[in-house]
Structure 1
């Protein structure tokens, strides 16, 4: 295998996709086929959780690390209608009008995207995301036209297995890298479960829509 050059910098955001995630009572998660989200402007996700020291013998005896996932915003040129229907469960009537209902629960989804690098684009997958309803905003046009964007507030939660996210690296195989947006990547158990928990890794499967 040829040696691959390592990225020194990252920049840009593109190729955002969502894949509906369905979690069953036994902890098995299935994913639909990834669907493109065009017009990605920015993504900002902050880590949730912190380190809490346990003191004994007049010192930090043990450090408890909490990983509660991420939260933040995905800014888009315009939220696609497919996302509104598939994830937010807005309904389109026979006249092509979209309706929002307060009693409908949005779907969870995997979020796939990539950052450009100087050598190779870094591809990511956040496994269990939820989105709040976007705000409605706009403003009058003046001498110049400023494009108004849409923003989704996201929460990325750990799966029952503890898995939160994956991303490609320098040694990612070409077959995995090229198929990143064809189906949600399933990590091998031996490399994805590093915790001391006795629970086994959540089962994955991908369903075609």
Structure 2
């Protein structure tokens, strides 16, 4: 049985449009310095009672809390994600800022070889916090915690999906996973070649 370990290749992409008319993502961009990821999907279970017992169960999806810890988030990427205004090289955060909806991807190693790949498909980031402390005798680097609330896609092409995952096998090749946001598996079909391109077109 394989074991999952390691983490790298943080990527994000803007959700440019997700409504009844179309589903469009921007080109993924790399976020270096992956440290950890935590995903906490909330769901509520309703029991239906009949014949003096539980006859059926129904799950309803709630919030999907996501936290990515990274070495740092470059200022130009912060400006893009949070919609900040830049004046003469100075970045200003204000109550008028409009954060973008985004997708977030990464990969982990598999002990049997290859990687397991992930995309979380549509989320709105929370405001970014700051932590810092004075330099001591022993260096203690500070990291960034990036929190996002994810939801399901709205356009019919998205099929109400909120998450995609795949891993390297004899029949799947993850090359090209980070070239686009993967919300449809069709480009990875065997007759399309080993690299997925032009997803959704």
Instruction: Look up the match of 2:102.
Output: 109
Residue 10 of structure 2 contacts residue 106 of structure 2 at CA under 8 Å; is this kept in 1?
yes
Matched residue, 1:163: 161
Gaps of 5+ in 1: 1-6, 190-203
1:159 is paired with a residue of what secondary structure? coil
**Aligned counterpart, 2:52:** 58
Alignment correspondent of 2:190: none
User: What is the Cα deviation at residue 29 of structure 1?
Assistant: 1.9
SS at match of 2:179: coil
Task: Could you tell me which runs of 5 or more consecutive residues in structure 2 were left unpaired when the two chains were aligned.
Answer: 187-198
1:173 is aligned to 172
Where 1:41 maps in the other structure, the secondary structure is strand
1:22-80 superposed Cα distances (whole Å, 9 cap, x missing partner): 23441632100000001111110112113221112221122111233521311111112
C-alpha distance 90-171 of structure 1, shift in aligned 2 (>3 A)? farther
Question: Aligned pair 1:86/2:80, yes or no?
Answer: yes
Instruction: Give the structure, 1 or 2, with the largest relative contact order (CA under 8 Å, sep 6 or more).
Output: 1
Distance in 2, Cα, partners of 1:102 & 1:151: 21
C-alpha distance in structure 2 between counterparts of 1:31 and 1:172, whole Å: 26
Confirm or deny: 8 A CA contact 1:31 1:205 kept in the other structure.
Answer: no
**Deviation, structure 1 residue 185:** 2.0
- Separation in structure 2 between the aligned mates of residue 21 and residue 171 of structure 1, nearest angstrom: 32
Contact 2:15 2:100 in 1 (8 A): yes
Preserved contact between residue 18 and residue 153 of structure 2 (Cα < 8 Å):
no
Give SS of 2:43's match: coil
The structure 1 segments of at least 4 consecutive aligned residues displaced by more than 4 Å after TM superposition are: none
- Secondary structure of 1:66's aligned partner: strand
Partner residue of 2:70? 76
* Deviation larger for 164-173 or 110-119: 164-173
Aligned length: 183
Structure having the higher strand fraction is 2
SS class of match (2:62): coil
